């Protein structure tokens, strides 16, 4: 049985605020304007509006617009590279340092029972944006799979992205 989707009208405003609504958004497409993540990072939106939690010279962290749990962060190089081996040494070091910082922020903001950290490299591995590698960092709790997930194959997220952004930026290590 496929995962059911629950209507979440606030998501459309996020997508439309970052991009031209007349242009279809294809998360897997890199065009003259760049990958999905490059377009978010280069947008004229404030970091709060774009949900950018942290920016560094070579890597950044932003909220997953479609989180598995509240607090779900994507850590990524600022330039689109699809494979880990395509990162230069500075990007590689900065990426894993930012993953550590994301973990610290998530633990401080959410006090989870655990943290999942994962990378899906390529469409065959489940990458939703295969042209721009990104590391998922998200809090987990012992009982975070409730009846909605078990019975309806749906997630209910009690916190808005705006609230998540405020929590994580406040908890991000200096």
Q: Is 72 a catalytic residue?
A: no
Rounded CA separation 34/52 (Å): 17
Measured from the Cβ of residue 165, the count of other Cβ atoms closer than 10 Å reads: 20
Residue 52 pairs in a beta bridge with: 62
**Which helix (H) or strand (E) covers residue 17, if one does?**
helix 10-18
Catalytic residue among 72, 132, 134, 136: 134
**Which helix (H) or strand (E) covers residue 118, if one does?**
strand 114-119
Catalytic residues, by residue number, are 134
């Amino acid at each position: 049985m496929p995962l059911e989707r629950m209507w979440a009208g606030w998501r459309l405003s996020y997508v439309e605020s970052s991009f031209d609504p007349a242009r279809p958004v294809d998360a897997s497409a890199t065009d003259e304007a760049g990958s999905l993540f490059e377009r978010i990072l280069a947008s004229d939106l404030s970091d709060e509006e774009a949900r950018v939690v942290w920016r560094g010279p070579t890597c950044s962290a932003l909220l997953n617009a479609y989180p598995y749990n509240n607090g779900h962060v994507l850590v990524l190089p600022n330039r689109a590279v699809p494979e880990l081996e395509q990162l230069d040494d500075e990007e590689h070091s900065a990426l894993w340092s930012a993953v550590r910082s994301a973990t610290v922020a998530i633990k401080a903001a959410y006090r989870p029972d655990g943290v999942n950290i994962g990378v899906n490299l390529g469409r065959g591995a489940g990458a939703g944006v295969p042209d721009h590698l990104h590391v998922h960092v998200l809090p987990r709790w012992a009982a975070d799979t409730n009846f909605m997930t078990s019975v309806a194959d749906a997630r209910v997220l009690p916190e808005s992205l705006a609230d998540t952004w405020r929590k994580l930026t406040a908890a991000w290590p200096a």
